[in-house]
Structure 1
Amino acid sequence: MSEVVIKTRLNGPLLVTGPVKIIDHEGNVYDLTGKENVALCRCGQTKRRPFCDGTHKSCGWVAEDLVPPAPTTPAPPAPPAQ
């Protein structure tokens, strides 16, 4: 099975690549036949929920999400002076 990858887009949707199934709250499956990529709305203004329709470009929505930096490991304590 191929890996599913979800990428955040700068000030835009979630881009989902891979074999996914999207199901609504009543258990209905969206038809994604032939689609290798799906853009899911994050701004909440789309007219095609849950899919992105590009409205984020005109509604002023901003999202600059980045992966937080990995925690730094403290250096080991220096040996005692003799």
Structure 2
Amino acid sequence: MPNSPSDGARPSGAPRRVKMQRRGPLLVEGPVEVELEDGTTVRSDRFRVALCTCRRSRRFPWCDTSHRARSSGPSDGPPPAGG
């Protein structure tokens, strides 16, 4: 009998894979339960979830790619036209 089930579920005892990214969410193989600071638990049955690490997400703890938004500052884009 093969080690991995045909339904794609993680075999019992197999480690859960977590992928860290320099500027982005934490990717976790699902399904997952996440315990929040206030003690509540949220669950996702997806095969992979993106957990927000920047706290900008409107769907926290799930990432909604808000980390991609840039703040306006002198280094964003070309300098203003002189006058």
Pairs aligned (count): 59
* Aligned amino acid, residue 56 of structure 1: H
Q: Which has the larger radius of gyration?
A: 1
Written as runs of structure 1 = structure 2, the 5 A alignment for 1:46-57 is: 46-57=57-68
Q: Which runs of 5+ in 2 are unaligned?
A: 1-11, 72-83
Percent of aligned positions that are identical:
34
Amino acid at match of 1:9: Q
Q: TM-score with structure 2 length normalisation?
A: 0.57
Could you tell me which runs of 5 or more consecutive residues in structure 1 were left unpaired when the two chains were aligned: 61-82
Give the alignment partner of residue 36 of structure 1, picking from 47, 63, 67.
Answer: 47
Quick check: which one's strand share is greater? 2
Q: CA deviation at 1:36?
A: 1.1
Higher relative contact order (CA 8 A, sep 6+): 1
